[in-house]
Structure formats: C-alpha cells, structure tokens
Amino acid sequence: MAPHQHPWARTDTSRWAQWWWTTDRWLLGATGALMLLGVLLQFGTSPAATARLGIAWPFHFAVRQCVFAAIGVVIVLATSLLRPKGVRRVAFVVYLAALLAMVALPFLGHNAKGATRWVEFAGFALQPSEFMKPALLVLVAWMFAEAQKGEVPGVSIAFCLYAAVVVLLLLEPDIGQTALITAAFGAAFWVAGVPISWIMGMGATAIVGLGSTYWIFPHVANRLHLFLGAKPNEPGQVERAAQAIAAGRGFGRGPGEGVMKVQIPDMHTDFAYSAAAEEYGLWLSLLLIALFAVLVIRGLYRAMKISDPFEQVAAAGLFAMVGMQAFINIVVNLGLAPTKGMTLPFISYGGSSMLAMSLTMGMALALTRRQSAAYMADDGPGELDAFG
C-alpha cells in the first residue's frame, strides 16, 4: 500500500468500504471518545466503590466497564451497518423482548432502593427499560411515517406502544425514565409534523401526569422536599456531588485524588460526572459537554437533511433522547434538579446503560448514513466530504 493511501477506495463496493464512506465520522468519533473516557474514568472511582461494597479487587467495576465497552463497540459497528429496514426489524425484536422482561419484573425482578427495575442472571443485572427507549422511538417513527401514507392508523398505534411502556415504567416505579421517554416521544411527535394542537394537548397531559406523581409516589415527594430545602443535618448525594464539582476548580485534584467518591454511594454510576469534575477539573467537564453537544447538534443536523420521513423522525428522536438524558444527569450533578437515578451515557458505570446506548448510537448512525436517495435534493455534490 502506498504511503497515505486509504485502505478503502471510494470505488470499493465492499460493505465495510461503503460503511466507511457513508457514515458520519464526527458522530462516530464523538461516540468512541465518550466510550473511552467512560472506561478511563472508572479506574478512578472503582476503588472507592469496591471498598464500600466489600469487593476485594479494587478495579472490579473498571474492568467490567472495559468488557461492557468492548461489547458496546461491536454493537455500534454491527448496528450501524444495517439498512433502515434492518433497524426497524431490530427495534421490533428489542421492543418485544424488553416488553416481556418488564412484564415479568414484578415476579422475577430484583428490588433495589424501593424499585424493581432489573432482571438478574449469571451475575449480571439487566435493566429492560434501557433497551426499550431506542426501540420504542424507532417503532414510533415507523408508525408516524406509515400514518402519512394513510394505510394504517399509525398515530394511534404509536400512542399505544408508548402507553404500554409508560404503564410498565410506573409500576416499577421509574419516574425518571418515564419523563425521559415522554420527552423523547414528544420530540419525535414534533419532528413528524403533527398539528400543534396535538402537541400542546400532549404537553399539557404530560405535565399533569408527571405532576400527579408527587401525590402517588412517596419517594417523588420526598426527593422534591429535599431538593427544595427540607434537608437533613447531613448533606445528601446531590449536595456532595455539587461540592465535588466545586472542589475540582479548573484542573482538578488529580487522577485518583478525589475525596467525595468515598462519601457518595453512587459516584461511579449516577454521579460519575461529579467524580470526573473533582479529579480533572472544569476542562474535562466542558470536554464531556462538548462531546455530547457534537452528538446532539451534528446528529439533529444530519437528521434534518434526510428526506425519508421514517429515517428523519427516528434519527432525530434518538439523538434528542441521548441529549436529554445527558442534560438531566448533568443538571442533577450540578444540584439544579432532584435526583432521577439516570446515568450519564457512556460515562456512568453499568452494563445495561452502556449496551443500550451503544444500540441507540448504532441505530442513529445507521439511519444517518448517506443512503441512496435518502437525503434532500439540495445537498450539493460535495456534501459527502462533510463526513470526513
């Protein structure tokens, strides 16, 4: 091979060559960077987490995160190779599997912190709702696209798919995931171009429904009271997380030198952002935010260029969901919202979160690939080079 020669020529018709030249490499690079940072940051928080849980090996969680990330890379690459029809098929299978698992949770699930959200097998705890999110958005987008053709009652089917998931989430209960799925569903609804009156009606219903959880679920009321000022003598996780971020200042205490991770039980999971900010400082916090901004802004830009209704709505919904989840986690870490028990995509420890987010990004990359006739006609002949 000659110096600087690319292994795949543009005329190469092999599947991997076509994948390389049609995949948005900004999105692919940002995803890879987040996965790598998630693995590296776990080596700083794992020793404190294992000591608190009585696990002998200090890097237990870090090594497991490496395994999850390796599997996640395979999922991203394999899923991003799919055609839109393949994405729909995968979403349908994942939706059914996750739905059945969520139905079985009251009987077979593992209860932790007052909620039954996980199914345990072979030493691994799986959270079905994590995989449900991307599958639901793809199926909803499919139904919205079919509704435009007038052949099936797609909007009604989409609402039924969404309602089934919300009911099961509230039974766990998982208010945070319910709010996230509702917001992402609303975003897909908006992109699909439904009448504004429908969107306003859905928004009002969502506000009333989420507001009623204050009276229905005691833990929601308790978290809200704590957030609004009815705090105990000892600072809670949110207060300590905010203190950790403040202590990091510009360049942090140094790798492995954070002290708040000893005091916060979930520093390696829900509060991984705070752990990173304390040890590495503001620059890493801003880098994480910038990477998520690239994913969301670039992803939505690519989605809006797609002419196919299904691919456009599905891609926009997936990118919006990733952005919303990252936003919610970060504002909780900053002490600007009550705790939600929601992970920071690719950064927080957790197999379900890592694998489900890998599936999400794999689907999003597949849908934003430059498929034949999928993009709007105003894309110039040099548009393909924008992926490089």
Q: Look at residue 231 in the predicted model and tell me its pLDDT.
A: 54
SS3 at position 115:
strand
Give CA–CA dist 217/46, Å, rounded: 32
Q: Look at residue 382 in the predicted model and tell me its pLDDT.
A: 37
Q: Look at residue 372 in the predicted model and tell me its pLDDT.
A: 47
Q: Look at residue 225 in the predicted model and tell me its pLDDT.
A: 65
Side by side, which strands form the sheet with 124-126?
Answer: 110-112, 115-121, 124-126
Give CA–CA dist 269/18, Å, rounded: 37
Give CA–CA dist 298/386, Å, rounded: 11
Q: Look at residue 388 in the predicted model and tell me its pLDDT.
A: 36
pTM for this one? 0.88
User: CA angle, corner 131, sides to 127 and 134, nearest 5?
Assistant: 150
User: For residue 121, what are the β-bridge partners?
Assistant: 124
Q: Look at residue 384 in the predicted model and tell me its pLDDT.
A: 34
DSSP per position, 120-146: EETTEEE-HHHHHHHHHHHHHHHHHHH
> Residues 252, 281: contact at Cβ < 8 Å?
yes
Q: Look at residue 375 in the predicted model and tell me its pLDDT.
A: 60
pLDDT by 10s per residue, the chain, length 388 = 555 556 666 666 677 778 888 899 999 999 999 999 999 999 988 888 888 888 888 999 999 999 999 999 999 999 999 999 999 999 999 999 999 999 988 877 766 665 677 787 766 778 899 999 999 999 999 999 998 887 788 888 999 999 999 999 988 888 888 989 999 998 888 888 777 777 777 778 778 877 777 677 766 667 776 666 655 555 567 778 888 888 888 888 888 777 777 777 777 888 899 989 999 999 999 999 999 999 999 999 999 999 899 999 999 999 999 999 999 999 988 888 877 778 999 999 988 999 999 999 999 999 999 764 456 544 443 333 333 3
> Residues 129, 162: contact at Cβ < 8 Å?
no
Residue that has been written with the tokens 């499919």 in this structure: 142
Give CA–CA dist 114/146, Å, rounded: 40
Give CA–CA dist 245/40, Å, rounded: 18
Token duo for residue 351: 């197999």
Give CA–CA dist 355/76, Å, rounded: 9
DSSP per position, 329-379: HHHHHTTSS-----PPTTTS--HHHHHHHHHHHHHHHHHTS--TTTB-TTS
Contacts of 111 (CB under 8 A, 6+ apart): none
SS3 at position 340:
coil
Q: Look at residue 110 in the predicted model and tell me its pLDDT.
A: 67
SS (H, E, C) 161-219: HHHHHHHHHHHCCCHHHHHHHHHHHHHHHHHCCCCHHHHHHHHHHHHHHHHHHHHHCHH
Find, among 298, 364, 357, the residue nearest to 329 by Cα.
357
User: CA angle, corner 346, sides to 343 and 352, nearest 5?
Assistant: 65
Distances from the Cα of 315 to the Cαs of 41, 190, 287, in angstroms? 29, 13, 24
User: For residue 223, what are the β-bridge partners?
Assistant: none
The burial class, CB within 10 Å (0-12 / 13-18 / 19+), for 264 is buried
Q: Look at residue 240 in the predicted model and tell me its pLDDT.
A: 81
Amino acid at 270: D
Q: Look at residue 77 in the predicted model and tell me its pLDDT.
A: 96
Give CA–CA dist 133/135, Å, rounded: 6
Give CA–CA dist 313/352, Å, rounded: 25
